[in-house]
Amino acid sequence: MEFIMKKTLIGCLAFMLCASTLSAQSYKFDFTTGKKVKEGYTKITPADRYSDEKGYGYDLQASPDEKSNAPFFFSVNVPDGNYHVTAVIGNRKKAGVTCVRGESRRLFAEEIHTKKKETKVYEFTINKRNVHISDKEDVRIKARERSKLNWDDKLTLEFNGSAPVLSELIIEKVDDVPTIFLCGNSTVVDQDNEPWASWGQMVTRFFDDKVCFANYAESGESANTFIAAGRLKKALSQMKKGDYLFMEFGHNDQKQKGPGKGAFYSYMTSLKTFIDEARARGAQPVLVTPTQRRSFGPDGKIQDTHLDYPDAMRWLANKENIPLIDLHQMTRLFYEAMGVEESKKAFVHYPAGTYPNQSKDFADNTHFNPYGAYEIAKCIIEGMKKLNLPIIQHLREDYVTYNPAQPDDWNTFQWYDSPFTETEKPDGN
């Protein structure tokens, strides 16, 4: 009996110690090659590979070495929530050019240049989530999503670039930053694999560490299927007063047929559910009209393909006094400014053999490549600025005012491909 009591006591103390450690939710890692370790830090070597038992380590690709310039990934098992990341970029032994992304290719830093023996501190805040809504309910994700980094139990960071280098990493749980929840379809989702991309994974690059984006969008979703799958419910379980809920739907909604379906029926009813639920939690709903498809007429002008869905959203925004970003109009200006042929440079248009196992030409007029997604993210920001949303105060200092009628030259856009590619196009059209 005494033994059992002692064993129980030890178990309780161990649990309390573990709980205390988790409550701090601060993780510090030292990637330098020296023997000394800063107090409170965990030394990381190439042998530290991620496992569920270990809870941290290099992941997905080979561990980096001093001679390699290949991208590398580092994962940490953390609870759901927002995390402030401090990355000390650079090292003593070589110069570097480092791109920082997180989870499913969310862009945070394009290129951080460091000289030999030079380090630079880069800070951002990233959202991590899994499929669990409660002990009894999970988000009903698609089979294709089961391997997505956005839905697992790890926070995964990608260090890419022509010569990625990292000295320190600090990951700390934060609860006091506004979260911008993104709901939508394949034009918004964090695309895991090259060459696909969406604006939701690019907009993160332009904001500082005082806000956080949580991208719940998924390819093929309409407003009502998004709700039915539990995606909205999961987002609402994390939502707090002062947060934002951005909604971009329409592409897939317009294909739904039958009684009660349509722009001014099921579509608006579903959007009203988003609006009411956000308001009930003290969050600000924001409507976003769908991106145009690359559909040019004989006159070289974009042809509308979304029927009356954009107008229905505009009507709802006016009726409910909801801020609206007219992405439908801005993307029209963007594509027309590039022209019929040049606009292909913003979409997944690549000849066969451009990417591994690509046996056929890519000619997708709905889904963007990284350049197109990057430009459309700027359209979103200009929409935020026009609405004077408070979050624009957190734009990074290097953001330059953007005009979709005068897009950036695609030849000057720098993107470092992730090691993972996909030949099957995203759901939806």
pLDDT, tens digit, 9 for 90 and up, residues 108-165: 999 999 999 999 999 999 999 999 999 899 999 999 999 999 999 999 999 999 999 9
The Cα–Cα gap between 266 and 77 comes to 39
Residue ending a domain, choose from 176, 205, 238: 176
Q: What is the per-residue pLDDT for 351?
A: 96
Judge whether 4 lies within some domain.
no
pLDDT digits (tens, 9 = 90+) for 179-219: 999 999 999 999 999 999 999 999 999 999 999 999 999 99
Asked whether residue 343 is domain-assigned, the answer is yes
Contact present, 231 and 273 (Cβ < 8 Å)? no
Statement to judge: residues 109 and 240 lie in one domain: no
Pair 90, 141 in one domain: yes
Q: Which residues pair with 296 in a beta bridge?
A: 302
The domain total for the chain is: 2
Same domain, 368 and 239: yes
Q: Cα separation of 189 and 325, whole Å?
A: 17
Question: Are 213 and 187 in the same domain?
Answer: yes
Is 364 in the same domain as 378?
A: yes
The mean pLDDT of 12-22, rounded to a whole number, is: 37
- The verdict on 142 and 155 lying in the same domain is yes
Tell whether 240 and 161 lie within a shared domain: no
Residue 114: which domain range? 24-176
- 13 within a domain of the structure (yes/no): no
* Residues sharing a CB contact under 8 Å with residue 13, sequence separation 6 or more, in sequence order: none
Residue 204: which residues within 8 A CB-CB, separation 6 or more? 106, 107, 108, 124, 126, 213
Q: What is the pLDDT of residues 262-292, one digit of tens each?
A: 889 999 999 999 999 999 999 999 999 999 9
Residues 6+ apart with CB under 8 A from 137: 230, 233
Statement to judge: residues 374 and 239 lie in one domain:
yes
